[in-house]
Amino acid sequence: MFKFNTCKKENCKSYVCLDSPYCYGHSPNKSELLREMYRKIREDEEIRDVSFAHGEFEGLDFSSKVISSSYFAWCTFRNINFNKANIRTSFFQFCFFDNCNFEESDIRYSVFSGSKIIKTTFHNSMLIHNNFSGIDAWFVDFSVSDLYYTTFSSAGIRDTSFEDCNLKKANFSNTERRRVNFKYSNFEDTIN
């Protein structure tokens, strides 16, 4: 798991960024940390036990990478390719995903809660045991995905497709849904 050490700055409860004693927001050498993170993403096959909250990423390629036990809360991801990525027990809560591609990814036991997800596709993915509660989804494609035991409670979902999905035990309680397509999916097996 990533380090549970909190930022050295007084009253800051964020987790430290990489090996720095500060979180990304309070780090005096942000650009160096970002450069180190970009290097990790480019060179390492597996991103494991990494903490990088509040980071901003654009145009990166995470395709076919393994991301495990990592913490990316409050991050911004723009035009990022997560195609065929394997994500395990990682935390992406309160993030902003804009125009990202998670096609054919395998994501389990991960948290996307409170994130804003725009024009992003999860088409043909394994999304088992994930937490999407409180997300704000707009033009998101979850079609042909397995969403077993994934929770969307308290989410706002608009112009989004869940076509031909396995929704067994998926939780849609207290969601606000507009123009959401559940065609060919087992919506009757959801909790709502």
Q: How far apart are CB 126 and another protein at their closest, in Å?
A: 13
Q: How far apart are CB 55 and another protein at their closest, in Å?
A: 16
With respect to another protein, which residue has the nearer C-beta, 27 or 113? 113
Phi/psi for 42 (5° steps) reads -70, -40
Residue with tokens 């970002």: 34
Q: How far apart are CB 171 and another protein at their closest, in Å?
A: 6
With respect to another protein, which residue has the nearer C-beta, 153 or 185? 153
Distance CA 86, CA 3 (A): 21
With respect to another protein, which residue has the nearer C-beta, 131 or 143? 131
With respect to another protein, which residue has the nearer C-beta, 22 or 60? 22
Chain residues that interact with another protein, rule: CB under 8 A: 1, 4, 6, 13-15, 69, 73, 89, 91, 93, 108-111, 113-114, 129-131, 133-134, 149-151, 153-154, 169, 171, 173-174
Q: How far apart are CB 79 and another protein at their closest, in Å?
A: 26
Distance CA 114, CA 131 (A): 9
Q: Hey, which bits of the chain come out as E strands?
A: 46-48, 56-58, 66-68, 76-78, 86-88, 96-98, 106-108, 116-121, 126-128, 136-141, 156-161, 176-181
Residue with tokens 């997560």: 82
Which residues, at least 6 apart from 37, have a Cβ–Cβ distance to it below 8 Å? 18, 50, 52, 55
Q: How far apart are CB 160 and another protein at their closest, in Å?
A: 18
With respect to another protein, which residue has the nearer C-beta, 81 or 169? 169
